[in-house]
Structure 1
């Protein structure tokens, strides 16, 4: 695994066909495709997994949604899996749960902690943003780490708390911000200062401006040949083209960023500028749309 974790994935689960296509392409194994609500305790026992990584649907909890929590049908599968834990002959040793900010105040979150506590798990919870790790991507997320006793955390003083800083993860007991309301502008400024500029994450760092201009000229001259899913123009930047359908649909939500930017909402390895005459976005090391 890229994270250098000494582990083997015994099974992955996703009901979406396209998501499973992507997973199979990247990892050479097609996930179990179906409603995981149909899984039984015996099914989970057969996998004999030491760790479960869970990322349930976020729609029931997102601040932009209806926030129906456990009453949302999309929350049922997650709760069903948790409710199977006491029925399993060999429960997992470790659980990792990820979701949007808002999950931590939901009734699903309350039920999750109750089930984990009743089954001898100890938890540490975090709201973390990539900004805290030097990555210019300001999108906080909820994370829960759970270990089944007798396993324990390196810093047990943070057990059963919701923390807004990565100190325990990094082996440090530095200043913890317990609630979102207590976070100050000064704290955010410090996070931004610790971030690397976006240019440090760009690919093709040695690509020259004249090479880029040549590519853009070639694309513009043959725009009739440039079709979504069929890039016939020979250019090393072809891999970074964004289909025009996505530009038309999401262009208004994209951010303007600069190489020196240390904060953005939608970060990828590269960012883009609009190529006139093609209806496409092209990765570049200049000002562009992200």
Structure 2
């Protein structure tokens, strides 16, 4: 299946331009979709907009957006008025600056798109840009009108293509320092930190999204299959509540639990090496 671009335009960096398309990098199309159904009739339930006071349905032509005032009244905003204030979509993804990768705060990440030249003759432009960013360990900040909204995007190399991530505006991201200002500074001992470091080191792995299992999706699929086949699915037993223990004790127990696994692995490796020599 050929991917379809959700947006097409020009990537512009000074005098350098390249026709590009944005392709959705994350999709929910494969998720199981459940509809709301009338239990009595088995028919699908349709959503309907009704007047909050009269309870009567409101047809499409009488539905309008509005901003609620403190008095409870609304300032009505018509569709053509909204369209008039949207910046003109010139189909240009304009790069204004490059920033060090180490300075990027991923809290601002919203939605990723693959950014790929729509003309195969322009692949070299994207390749040069990618190599330049990799060599300087930097990413590009670009701006464009996407889906009738002015958005900022972060562009960076990703495997053989560029990836453009829509960024949240500063006012949209809640400050952790302000939101959780009541959290006090913790006075931790050196032993606590060392134990925590030991626990982490014994559980080191690599970032592999292929290993991440959507357990809810898998369970939902099994439930649907079982109901289609007339089978019963046993409810999973609830996990027993953890016993509240002292933090230091918990750290020591966790660190001790990690040691046997490591020694067993070492014993297996040692045993394996010995058998090879014997052979």
TM-score (norm 2): 0.23
* Higher strand proportion (structure 1 or 2): 2
Q: Which of 1 and 2 has greater Rg?
A: 2
TM-score (norm 1): 0.22
Structure of greater relative contact order (alpha carbons < 8 Å, 6+ residues apart): 2
